[in-house]
Amino acid sequence: MRIGDLATACGLTAKTIRFYEQAGLLHAPPRTSGGYRDYPSEAKSRLAFVRDSQSAGLTLAEIRSILALRDSGEAPCSHVTNLIHEHLADIEKRMSELRKTRTALRGLADRAAGTDPSTCTDADICSIIGGSTRG
C-alpha cells in the first residue's frame, strides 16, 4: 500500500507517516520498482496503536519502547502498566497544583473586585498581585 493510501486509511498525513518512520515507530517498508514506499497492511494497526498511545499521553520515546518490546517478541504489558501508573501519578500531581493555583486565583479575583485603581501609587507594581491589603 502506498503512503497516500495508508495516510488516508489512518487519517494521517504522508508527512506524519514519514516522521513516524524516521522516529523509529514504523518500520521502513520495502520499495516498489518505481521507488515508492510499499507498506504492508499491518502498518495500519501499528499507526493506530501509535495514535491511541499518544491520545493516552504517552511520549514518542515511550511508544517506541513499547513497540521495541513487542518487536523483540516480548509482551509489553508490565512495561505499559508501569508507564500508565507513572502518567497517572504525574496527572494527579499536576491536578493538585492546578487546584492550588485556582484557589490562589480566586483569592486574587476577590481582591481585584475590591480594588480601587485610584488608590494605587507609583510604588505599587500591582496591588492586586503584590499582596497589598488596600482595597
Per-residue pLDDT of the chain (135 residues; tens, 9 = 90+): 999 999 999 999 999 999 999 999 999 999 999 999 999 999 999 999 999 999 999 999 999 999 999 999 999 999 999 999 999 999 999 999 999 999 999 999 999 998 888 888 777 788 888 765 544
Chain CA centroid to CA 89, Å: 15
Packing angle of the helix pair 42-55, 3-10 (nearest 10 deg):
40
Residue 6: which of 33, 45, 34 has the closest Cα?
A: 45
77 class by beta-carbon count within 10 Å (0-12 exposed, 13-18 middle, 19+ buried): exposed
- How many residues appear in the chain? 135
pTM: 0.77
CB-facing half-sphere around the CA of 80: CA atoms within 13 A: 16
